[in-house]
Amino acid sequence: MSGIQIREFRFLTLAVPFKTAFRHAAAERSETSSVWIEAFGDGAVGYGESCPRPYVTGETIDSAREFFVEYESSLRLRVRDVASLRAWMSEHADAIDRNPAAWCALELATLDLIARHAAVTVESLLGLAALDGRFYYTAVLGDMGIDAFQATAERYRKLGFTDFKVKLSGDLDHDRRKLSSLREHPGIRIRVDANNLWQTAEPAISFLTALDTPLFAVEEPVAPGQFDLLAHIAGDIGCQIVLDESISRSSQVTPLLADPSLWLVNLRVSKMGGLLRSLDLAEAVRHAGIGLIVGAQVGETSLLTRAALTVAHASRERLVAQEGAFGTMLLERDVCEPPLMFGRGGAIEAAAYPMLATPGFGIQCAGFAH
């Protein structure tokens, strides 16, 4: 069999402190909790990262380690190139569906290794256009006290951000105060993330209406996968619903086809189970005529930011927003040097990062995993 011989995978973890704690309705975090995979073969090293979260995919660091122990030898022995990687994924689709974040880190490391060995970018390896142009990111505001919220929002505004996502607390007075402070500024687009706050449609509709704020979209107001309830909420409040935990693979797009205009899909590479599955979902969303948000999980390093750029660039036709790229604005340090992070206007300019055109993902890792 031609291609690379994968000689070893290493399972490591990341626990990098945040500069400030990040809170929403489902969890509060003060440091990363991520899986880091290193793949070795034929003189090259590939890197992979993922963020297993019990409240997103039901995964933990321990369950990801168990997946790694069960499957890494089969992957190492059978995968040589992208074709054999896809074949392995097809054969193990059920296991990946149950462990998407665990698989994500392994897949990214494998793709990075194959591309570095071939001396091509991941985009070239997958037959995609080279990264170029600008990528614009959303200002994401977690649940915090009103003074901290206003100060953080003002820093974003001074950087030139115009797209804002606000995590709801479920306290109506508090959430109204947060949103009213944003409404003072013209030209700002606002969406809110409820992180599955409500059990039924009516209290969700009542709360969201009482916010008294024109919303671009609402993310996951009720428990995941309740598409009839979500469609009812969308109709009553007059804005689109962002599906995050409700969509973790391309086959789940089918229930959305009855009225694609109601939905936006928040695609997070770790949640989706890696880059190839993310690209497959992005293609299904494009065919369905649904808008796409390329999202992120709190605590991602530059490696997952880099993988998400591949999806965003391949999906510009349906791309509505991007999240992430916080780098050392959130992390005390990034495993990658230089950190891949937004600048003024919330933008990443591809030309400003020559590493994006180097083999693999082009990320040079400083090494904080253990």
Per-residue pLDDT, 271: 95
83-113 pLDDT, tens digit per residue, is 999 999 999 999 999 999 999 999 999 999 9
Contacts of 171 (CB under 8 A, 6+ apart): none
311, 269 contact by CB (below 8 A): yes
- Could you please state the CATH topology (level 3) that the domain comprising 8-119 is classified under: Enolase-like; domain 1 (3.30.390)
Tell me the Ramachandran region of residue 44: left when phi exceeds 0, alpha when psi lies from -120 to 50, beta otherwise. Answer: beta
**From the centroid of its chain, how far is CA 195?**
15
Q: What are the two backbone dihedrals, phi and then psi, of residue 99, each rounded to the nearest 5 degrees?
A: -135, 55
What is the average per-residue pLDDT within 144-153?
Answer: 93
Q: Is 36 helix (H, G, I), strand (E, B) or coil?
A: strand
Query: pLDDT band at residue 321, thresholds of 50, 70 and 90?
Result: very high
Instruction: Return the H-helix or E-strand segment holding 306.
Output: helix 302-314
Q: What is the CA radius of gyration of the chain?
A: 20
Q: What is the residue extent of each domain of the chain?
A: 8-119, 134-357
Per-residue pLDDT, 290: 97
Per-residue pLDDT, 205: 98
Candidates 284, 343, 346, 345; CA nearest to 314 is 284
Q: Is 324 helix (H, G, I), strand (E, B) or coil?
A: coil
- CA 10/CA 65 separation, integer angstroms: 11
Strand partners, 134: 349
DSSP string, 130-164: PP-SEEE--EEE-S--HHHHHHHHHHHHHHT--EE
Query: pLDDT band at residue 1, thresholds of 50, 70 and 90?
Result: very low
Does pLDDT of 23 surpass 60? no
Query: pLDDT band at residue 62, thresholds of 50, 70 and 90?
Result: very high
What is the average per-residue pLDDT within 153-161?
Answer: 94
Query: pLDDT band at residue 359, thresholds of 50, 70 and 90?
Result: very high
Per-residue pLDDT, 30: 66
Task: Report the percent of the chain where pLDDT is more than 70.
Answer: 94
- Could you please state the CATH topology (level 3) that the domain comprising 134-357 is classified under: TIM Barrel (3.20.20)
Query: pLDDT band at residue 31, thresholds of 50, 70 and 90?
Result: low
Q: Is 152 helix (H, G, I), strand (E, B) or coil?
A: helix
Does pLDDT of 338 surpass 90? no
Top-confidence residue, 291 or 370: 291
Contacts of 133 (CB under 8 A, 6+ apart): 313, 349, 350
